[in-house]
Each structure stands twice: as structure tokens, then as C-alpha cells.
Chain A
Amino acid sequence: MIWTLILREILTTLMTFRFFVTVITCMSLVIAGTIVLTDNYERRLASYNADFQTHQEKTFIAHTYSSFKADIDRAPNPLSVFNQGLDKRAKNSIRIRIGKVPYLWDKVYQYQSTGLKNPFRHLLADIDLVSIFQILLSLLALVFAYDAIAGARENGTLRLTLSNPVGRGVVILGKYVGAIVCLSLPLLISFLFALLLQLQSSAIQYTADDLFRIGGILLTTIVYISTFYLIGLLISSMIHRPATSLIVSMFIWVVLILLYPNVSLFLVNRFIDTEEKIEQTNREIEQISERFYRDIQKLRDPFESPSLLKDSISSGGSRGYLHLSKNFTYIPDESEPNIPTVKAYFQDLTSLHIRAAETIWRARKNAFAETYIRKSRIARNALRFSPTGLYHLSTEAWAGTDLFRMEHFFKTGRQYRQRVLDYFHDKKAFSSRQWFASDKGEVRWNDAPRFVYNPPDVFEDASSRALPDLFLLFLLNLVLFMATFMIFSRLEV
């Protein structure tokens, strides 16, 4: 019986004008969106490739250990076509130095970071596929649902259906399943088109991991559509006139899609103040730097031969920017007896540097957690009160363009720095002559650790963030379905 109901529901829907319009609209928008976003991705990829090339060439050319410097890059994420998230906006390159622990805090100038020759282009909005689905499919779901019960009731078909030996639960389930199948069709078709278009581009190559992620996005989208369909169904079973039900549905749609997310983010952004903590941390960092310079000053005193060490500290001052690269290409013979003292000096200096860098990093990390991360977390939690927000956050995690991914990149950067330090330790580099001088041969970097960024795999992203949000969305579905069922079963036909 239920199959008959589902089949009938599907057939009547497929034949309607609104279904036709839906498919056409959805497809054309997805195609337009995919073109914009793929182009944008290709541009970013080209700029990343160029950067990567230069950075590779420049990494292991230092003559001394102390002048080690590496730039590591994160490739743009092809799944940003689905959900841009932070992929376009966050830093994609980190400079690894001995005297500095990298962190998200650092400023980047747009010219350097995004490869964008025209920063004015930030004025042009672009919209990702998830946003298109988010706006369009939710609207369609409501349009399909508003008269599902109210309409059938008005024209008497509901009474007719129920006169057969079918339970009300079966009727509502039939309607629901039929509608979801119909609503998934435009989604699947446009998804397919988007994928085909992307495969046309030579720049995009999906791995199995990416395909899992795309599958996750698809699944989340279907659950999202179902949420809105159920909202519509609930309204439809509560309000008896289809016209009123439509108006109420539309108002709820505007609130859920347009108002709630923007208003809540606007308010969180305006009224959660981070300035004070940042100022305080900057002062703290200033103090650490000052202390560090005082310590260096103390180190300098015991030396007998200042000529060799003149200008050996060329570090620019504030905000934790410390560097200590040094390269003596010629050391006169009369300075030779000083070498052990100089070695000891540099060893102490470096350890002070590293310690200061780490103290500064810890201060910044804490401040960051209490300010930007906290604010961002509050905003994300506020979004979780709406299905739109849940959908956005879940797909962001599936696509791997969320804050977690950006932090992960920086974390691997820090780990790489640690690996380099360990390598120096093994090589006894800190106490070697090659730390500061290349007069007796340059450093060979043959066995130095290299950096490759491996993003976390889909299971890690899914289990920690994507699935919990999807689960919440699913739970919302269940609640809505139960509510609709309860109201419907008490409905007088």
C-alpha cells in the first residue's frame, strides 16, 4: 500500500510545472556557480604552484644552520567549490624559522597570500554550491510541502485516501518519501553536472577521499532538504488554508535563511569584544621580548673579542618577530682561539631565542583561544540553532574548509619546525661552527626533514565535526516528523 502511495506522490509531483521550473533553475544556477568557483580555484592553484616552486628552490640553500628558513604551503582545496569556508580567506603559506613559532594570528597582506592581482575583486560576491542549495532547495521543499496536507484536505483527496484501509502514519510517510525522492532529483542532476564540469578542468583531480567527502555533502544536503520539507509539512498540517500556509511558510523561510544566520552573526561580531585581551597580550609579548633582549645583553658581556661578534644580533624587535640568522664567510686566523667561546655564545643565544619564541607562542595561543577562537565558536554555536547553520557547518567540515583544517595546517607547520629543531639537535648543529660560519664548508641539507602537507582524512573530519552536526540535523528531522505525525493523526478531515 505504501508503495502505491509513494509512487502516486512521485508521479503527480514530477508532472507539475513547479517541478520543471525547479530542475531548470537549480541546474542553471549550479552550472553558473561551478564555472565561477572552478575558475577561482584554478587561479588560486596556479598561484600556489608558483609559490610552491619558489619556496622549494629557496628552502635548503642556507649556508649556515642559523640562517635556515623555509616556507611551507597549503594547496587550495578543490572542495571549496562546494563550500568555500575559510579556504580562500585564510593564510596558505607559513614561514618556518628557528626563532618563531607560527600561528594563525599573523597578518598577511592580500597581495602575498591569495595571489590576487586585483584585491578589488573582494567586492564581487561569489556564491558556493552549498549556498545555492541552501537557498534554493529549502525554498523548493517548502513550496512542495505547503499544500501537501492543507491542499489535499481542501480538495477532498485526503478524505478519499483515508477512506481506504490505510493508517494515517502510512499516508504521511508515503507523502514524505515521495517528496524527498522528487526533491532529490534536481539535486542529483545538478550535482552530476557540477562534477562533470569540474572534471572538465584539468586542475581538479578528485581522490577517493574527496569522493567520500562529496558523498557526505550530498547526504547532508538531502537531510537538509528533508528538514525544510518537514517544516512545510508541519505548517501545512497546522494551518488549514493552503494560501495562509504558504505565506507562513515563506515568512519562516526568510527568517531561517536570511535573518537568523545573519542577525545572530552580526550581533555576536558586534558585541563580543576582543580588543582588550589582544591589547593585554601584545603588552605581555612586548615584556617577554624586552626580557629576552636583556638576557641577550647579559650574554654579550663576557666576550673578549667583540669584533667577531659585532652586529651578530640583527633582530627586529616587537611582537615576537625574532630571528638570528648569521653567516660569517671569513674568520681571520687571530680570531680562531675565540671560536669555542663564540660557539658557546651562539648556543646560549639560540636556546634563549627558542625559549622566548615558545613563551611568546604560548601567550598568543592562549589569547587567541580566548578571543578570536572563542568568538568564532560562539558564532558557530549560535548558527547551530538553525537548520541552515547546521547544514553549513556540516558541509564545511565535509569539505575540509573549516577553522579546524586551518588550525591543522598550522599545527603541522609547528610540528615540522620541531622536527627541524630535533634534526639540528641530532646533528649537534647548535654547537657547531656551521651554525654561524660557512668559511669551512657550507651545510649540507641532504638528510634534512622535508615538509609535505597531508590533510586529515575524511574519517577524522567526519567523526569529529561533520557527523555530529549531521546528527543534530537528523534529530531535528525526527522531532519534526513526530510532531507532524501527532498533529496529522488528530486532524479532523
Chain B
Amino acid sequence: MLWHIVKRELFEQVSSLRFVLAMLLTAFLMIVNALGHIDEYRTQQPEYGQKVAESLTELEQRSSNLYNFVLHGPGGLHKMPSPLSFCAHGSENNLPKLVSGSYSGWNWGGRSGLWRLKYDTFPPITATDIFPIFLNIDWTLIISSVLSFLALVFTFDTISGEVERGTLRLTLSNSVARRTVLTSKFLSSLISLGVVLLSGVLINLLLLHISGTLQLNTQEWSRLTAIFVVGMMYISIFIVLGLFVSTLTNNASTSLVILLLIWVIWVILVPSTVGTIMSGVNIPSIERGPSPVFFARNGLLERYEEQGLGDEAPTRTRPPSPATLLWAEFMDEEVQEWKRLNKEFLNAQIYQIQVARDFNRVSPTAILQYAIESLAGTGFQRHLNFMRNAENYETEFNAFLISADRADPDSLHVPFVREGMSTKPVPFESIPKFQDKVHLEDAFKEAIPNAMLLFLFFVVLFAGTHLSFQRKEI
């Protein structure tokens, strides 16, 4: 019986004007997205390759002297662009494309600090920013605003319209349970919107495939599938919302008006206001005070000057002189202190954004966006993973410096003073190279809670619809 009703509903829906318009709209946007991505892909991938190659050349140049690495570090560590950026652009333009492992930026008593990782390499404001702001046409936008809108347009009159026309009474006069009617209405809308989305997605992937920009491995295909599934979950929330409001009202146009207002608020306005308000209210805002990072050295210097730092220069004498050891201690403590403060500052920054994101999750649109971003490997969460990769590499690189120093018999083995360390060339092959990696587990670990939250929205709304439909007088 269920399938009988589903089939009938589906037939009706597919032959309607809105289905045709929905197909055209989605297909058009998917084509625009594909064309844009083909163009972007042609510049993005070679650019990344070139940047990595440049970093390697730099690394090779520095390898003529081990101490160069101690002062200047390994150079830029580049973030690998995601091949799935057409699914979610993730505001990558506003995020750093690299972290730089570079010169400390201070020089005292003729000595410079040790190399460190700098995370604040945000892209500068340039002349390109005079271009008007627009939303990127990616899968996230297409699903989150267009398909959710279509879901409402498909469902706003399913119950109230039938009540108006009197067909619902006719259906229920047969021996059909109300829940069967409701479920079949839900299923038929889900199937027809699934067809709309799937055909859009296929057109998109086909275009990308023909142009040769779609070179995905199995891992990325599984990501794409997961994105589709999450997208469908999101769409079903809006289908149920449509059904819900439709059972509450007896007039189709009233139900559409209410739905549209909910849609505008939930989809468009909440994600751009709630989080932003909450990130500024009640949270100790780091924007009020100066960044503590710049003061790292000053306090330390005073303390070490009392101990006699700067009175005597480090020497290459064996065993190491007290001055050499004191300098080594100071340099190490300075970099550790700097890292600690920097980390604190960075964590405060991240915390502020995470609070905003948590509050934005009252809107399923934000949830969908975060889920797709983490699956596509773009956006904030991916950036955090990238920074973690860079941090691991930092440890690895420093360990390498010490082991390379050990290998030199002429060295005093007092890291990290110039006089206490090897200044010989380092074989280029032995240097660890940074390779940004994306892990499937990370992506799913992020996406699953979001997907569960979407499911929760769905369950609550579905239960509400069920209840109100059971009680509805027809």
C-alpha cells in the first residue's frame, strides 16, 4: 500500500511545473560550479606544486650549513589544496595557505633566536578585494540554500493542499493508516528531490571528468558519497519541516509564507548573525589586549642578564664554557616560552571561532556546511588539522637537527648555540620533508557528530509532524 501511494505521489510530482524548474535550476548551478572549478583547478594545483618545489630548493640551499637550519628553519610548509574544493570552498581565501618555519625576528647581542613556526600567515588584503563580495557557487551552497528551498516548495501544500481539495479525506476513507500516508508523502518528496540532486551531481561530475580535472582515488570517492548522504539528510529535514507546517495550517499559501520566513531565518540569517554575536559576547575577547607573543623575550632577557648573559660570548672551547651553556639555555627557553605564548594566543583565537560555530549549529545549514567542509577537506577544521601536521613536523625537524649534530664529531653538541653546534653541510636526502596529509578518519570524525545532529533535527521534526498529523481533523 505504501509503495502504491508513493508511486502515485511521485508521478504527480515529477510531472509538475516545480519539478521541471527545480531540475533546470539545479543543473544550471551545477554546470556553473563545474566550469568555475575547472578554471580554478588549472591554477591551483600547479601553484601548489610550484610552491612545494620552491620550498625544497630553499631547503637544499640551506643545507650547506646545519646551523642555517637552526636559525632559519625549514621554510614555508604548504597546505595541500583539496581536490574536492568544488564541494565546499570553505573560505580558503581567508585562511593561510602555509605556515612558515622561519627566522625568529629578533637579534640581541649579535645573536638571533632559533627558528619557529608562525601560523599568522594570513593572505594580505590586496587590490583584488575591491571586487564585490559574493557567495561561491559550490555544492554546499546549492544544497544548503537551493535544495532546501526546493524541498519547501515541493512539500508546502502536500497536506494543506489536499485538505483544501478534499482528496485527503478520500484517501483516508480507504483502509490506510495515517502514518502510511505521511511516510509515503515524505518518501516521494525525498525520492524526487534525490533525483534532482543526483542528476545535478552527475552532470557536475561528468563535466569535471571530461575536462580531466576529476582525478579522485577511492578515498575521495567515499568522501563524495558521504557528502551526498549528508546532503540528503539535510534535505529531508526541510521536507519534514514542509510537511509539519503543512499539517498545522489549512491553507496552502499560509503554510508557504510561514515556511519561507523560517527558511530565510534558518538558512540565511542565523548562520551569519548568531555565531558572530556569541563570539563577541561574554567571552574573554582576545581582541581587546595586545598579543602576548611579542613580550616573550623581554621578561626572560632580564632574568638571564642578571645571571651574566651577554657579559661573555660563547666559545668553541672544550668542554663547553659556562657562557656557552648559559646562552644555550637562554635560547632554548626563549623559543619554548615563545611557543607556549603563541600557542595560548592561537588557542584563544581558535576557541573564539569554535564558540561561534557551536552557536551557529542551531541552524542545520551551518551544520551541513561544517559537515561538508570537513568531508571535502577544506575550511576551518581542515586548517586546524594542517596546523597540527605542521606542529608534528616541527618536532620531527628539531629532532633531526639534534641527530645530525650528533653525527658530527667536531661539534660540542650544545644545542642550539652557534659555537656549540655543527656547521657542516647536511646531506639533503636525510632532511625530513614536510608532506601535508589528509586523513579520512579526521574527516569522518568531524562529519559524524554533525551528521548525527542533522539526524536529531530530522527525528524531532518527524515526530512532531506525525503527532500533529494524527490529531488533525480533516
Question: Chain B residues near A115 (CB, 8 Å)?
Answer: 287
Q: Does A43 contact B (CB under 8 A)?
A: yes
One digit per residue, 1 when the CB lies within 8 angstroms of any chain A CB and 0 when it does not, for chain B 166-200 equals 00000000000000000000000000000000000
Set of chain B residues within 8 Å of A262, measured between Cβ atoms: 134-137, 141
Is A208 an interface residue when CB atoms closer than 8 A count as contact? no
Are B349 and A120 closer than 8 Å at their CB atoms? yes
Q: Which residues of B contact A25 (CB under 8 A)?
A: 261, 264-265
Complex interface bits, B25-64 against A, C-beta within 8 A gives 1, otherwise 0: 1000100100110011000000000000000000000000
B453 within 8 A of A: no
Question: Taking CB as reference atom, which chain A residue is nearest B150?
Answer: A254
Residues of A contacting B: mostly? helix
Judge whether B131 and A375 touch: CB under 8 Å. yes
A246-B253 CB under 8 A given contacts A25-B261, A43-B287: yes
Whether A247 and B18, one on each chain, are in contact in the complex, defined by CB atoms closer than 8 angstroms, is yes
A419 in contact (CB, < 8 A): no
Given A117-B286, A124-B275, check contact A139 B264 (CB 8 Å).
yes
Encode contact with B along A369-389: 1 for CB under 8 Å, 0 otherwise. 001110110011001000000
- One of B80-88, B122-130, B213-221 contacting the partner: B122-130
| Of the residues B125, B153, B380, contact of A247 by C-beta under 8 Å | B153
Q: How far is the CA of A33 from the CA of B274 in the complex (A)?
A: 9
Pair A261/B146 contact, Cβ less than 8 Å: no
Partner of A373, one of B94, B130, B153: B130
Distance in angstroms from B27 CB to nearest chain A CB is 13
Q: Are A126 and B286 in contact (CB under 8 A)?
A: no
Q: Among B134, B149, B380, point to the contact of A266 (Cβ < 8 A).
A: B134
In the docked arrangement, what's the CA distance between A371 and B254, Å? 49
Determine, out of B311-319, B350-358, B406-414, B419-427, the stretch whose residues face the partner at the interface. Answer: B350-358
Contact of A29 among B141, B269, B353 (CB under 8 A): B269
Q: How far is the CB of A225 from chain B (nearest CB, A)?
A: 15
Chain A, residue nearest B383 (CB): A120
Do A123 and B94 touch across chains, with their CB atoms under 8 A apart?
A: yes
Stretch at the interface among A102-110, A309-317, A343-351, A462-470: A102-110
A39–B280 contact, CB under 8 A? yes
Question: If A110-B122, A120-B349, A254-B149 touch, does A372 touch B128 (CB 8 Å cutoff)?
Answer: yes
Q: Which residue of B lies closest to A47 (CB)?
A: B287
Tell me if A166 counts as interface (CB < 8 A to partner B). Answer: no
| B399 is an interface residue with CB less than 8 A from chain A | no
A127–B132 CB distance below 8 A: no
Chain A residue nearest to B356 in the complex (CB): A124
Cβ contact of B17, chosen from A118, A119, A247, cutoff 8 A: A247
Choose among A33, A125, A136, A375 the residue with the greatest number of B CB atoms under 10 Å from its CB: A125
- Per DSSP, are chain B's interface residues mostly helix, strand or loop, or mixed? helix
Residues of B within 8 A of A54 (CB): none
**Given A111-B120, A113-B125, A250-B153, A104 contacting B130 (CB threshold 8 A):** yes
Whether the Cβ atoms of A242 and B253 lie closer than 8 Å is: yes
- The reply on A15 being an interface residue by CB < 8 A is no
The 0/1 profile, CB within 8 Å of A marked 1, for residues 445-462 of chain B is 000000000000000000
Cα of A125 to Cα of B253 in the assembled complex, Å: 32
In the complex where A36-B280, A120-B352, A125-B276 touch, is A376 in contact with B257 (Cβ < 8 A)? Answer: no
Task: Assess whether A472 is interfacial by the CB under 8 Å rule.
Answer: no
Given A121-B279, A125-B276, A247-B17, answer yes or no on A108-B125 (Cβ-Cβ < 8 Å).
Answer: yes
Q: Which residues of B contact A147 (CB under 8 A)?
A: 253
Q: Of B18, B29, B257, B348, which is within 8 A of A259 by CB?
A: B29
- Give A330 to B44 CA distance when docked, in angstroms: 55
Task: Give the chain A neighbours of B135 by CB distance below 8 A.
Answer: 258, 262
Residues of B with C-beta under 8 A to A132: 269
Partner of A376, one of B131, B149, B272, B352: B131
**Is B91 on the interface with A (CB-CB < 8 A)?**
yes
Size of A's binding interface in residues, CB under 8 A: 77
B131 in complex: contacting residue of A122, A139, A269, CB < 8 Å? A269
Distance of A250 from chain B, by nearest CB (Å) = 6
Report yes or no: B273 in contact with A29, Cβ–Cβ below 8 A: yes
How close is A117's CB to chain B, nearest CB, in angstroms? Answer: 4
CB distance from A385 to the nearest CB of B (A): 14
A254 touches B146 (CB 8 A): yes
State A255–B229 Cα separation when bound (angstroms): 26
Chain B CB within 8 A of A91 CB: yes
Contacts A113-B125, A122-B94, A266-B32 given: A135-B130 contact, CB under 8 Å? no
Assuming the contacts A36-B280, A105-B127, A375-B131, asked whether A143 and B122 have C-beta atoms less than 8 A apart, the reply is no
Task: Specify the chain B residue showing the minimal Cβ separation from A151.
Answer: B253
| Identity of the chain B residue whose Cβ is nearest the Cβ of A42 in the assembled complex | B280
Q: A266-B36, A271-B39 are known contacts. Are A89 and B129 too (CB-CB below 8 A)?
A: yes
Interchain nearest-CB distance for B169 vs A (Å): 19
Q: Which residue of A lies closest to B161 (CB)?
A: A243
Contact residue among A116, A243, A270, A372 (Cβ-Cβ distance under 8 Å from B36): A270
Task: Please indicate which of the listed interface residues A104, A120, A132 has the most CB atoms of chain B within 10 Å of its own CB.
Answer: A120
CB A316 to nearest CB in B, in angstroms, measures 17
Task: Pick the contact of A126: B127, B157, B256, B272 (CB < 8 A).
Answer: B272
Taken together as a complex, chains A and B put the C-alpha atoms of A365 and B122 apart, in Å, by 26
With an 8 A cutoff between CB atoms, is B467 at the interface?
Answer: no
CB of B291 closer than 8 Å to a CB of A = yes
Given contacts A117-B286, A118-B349, contact A33 B32 (CB under 8 A): no
- C-alpha spacing A372/B132, complex, angstroms: 11
Residue A432 lies at the interface, judged by CB distance under 8 Å to chain B: no
Task: Decide: B277 and A35 in contact? CB cutoff 8 A.
Answer: yes
Q: In this complex, what residue of B is CB-closest to A144?
A: B257
A18 interface contact, C-beta 8 A: yes
- Chain B CB within 8 A of A90 CB: yes
- Docked Cα-Cα span, A406 to B125, in Å, equals 14
User: B139: shortest Cβ distance to chain A, in Å?
Assistant: 14
B contact residues around A125 at 8 Å (CB): 271-272, 276
Q: How far is the CA of A265 from the CA of B40 in the complex (A)?
A: 15
Whether A110 lies near B273 (C-beta < 8 A) is: no
In the assembled complex, which residues on chain A have CB atoms less than 8 Å from the CB atom of B275? Answer: 124
CB distance from B29 to the nearest CB of A (A): 7
> Which residues 219-254 of A sit at the B interface, judged by CB distance below 8 A?
242-244, 246-247, 250-251, 254
A135 in contact with B17 (CB, 8 Å): no
Q: Which of B125, B134, B277, B286 contacts A89 (CB 8 A)?
A: B125
A32 to B268, CA, bound (A): 13
Determine the distance from Cα of A118 to Cα of B25 in the docked complex, in whole angstroms.
38
Inter-subunit contact B91/A123 (CB<8 Å)? yes
CA distance A263 to B265 in the complex (A): 22
Of B25, B125, B380, the contact of A123 (CB 8 Å cutoff)? B380
Q: Is the CB of A372 within 8 A of B271?
A: no
- Find out whether the CB atom of A107 lies under 8 angstroms from the CB atom of B126: yes
Contacts of B385 in A (CB 8 A): none
As a 0/1 sequence over residues 338 to 354 of chain B, the CB contacts with chain A under 8 angstroms (1 = contact) are 00000000001110110
Question: What distance in Å separates the Cβ of A190 from its nearest Cβ neighbour in chain B?
Answer: 13
Min C-beta distance of A150 to chain B, whole Å: 10
The answer, among A110, A118, A135, A255, for a CB contact under 8 Å with B124, is A110
B209-268 contacts to A (CB < 8 Å): 252-254, 256-258, 260-261, 264-265, 268
A403 at the interface (CB under 8 A from B): yes
Q: Which residues of B contact A368 (CB under 8 A)?
A: 127
Q: Top 7 closest A-B pairs, CB basis?
A: A265-B134, A125-B272, A122-B94, A107-B124, A127-B272, A117-B287, A119-B122
Residues of B within 8 A of A (CB): 17-18, 21, 25, 29, 32, 35-36, 39-40, 91, 94-95, 120, 122, 124-132, 134-137, 141, 145-146, 149, 153, 157, 161, 252-254, 256-258, 260-261, 264-265, 268-269, 271-277, 279-280, 286-287, 291, 348-350, 352-353, 356, 379-380
Q: List 13 A–B pairs whose Cβ atoms lie within 8 Å, in order of A's numbering.
A: A29-B269, A39-B280, A108-B124, A121-B353, A123-B353, A123-B379, A124-B356, A126-B276, A132-B269, A247-B17, A255-B25, A258-B146, A262-B135
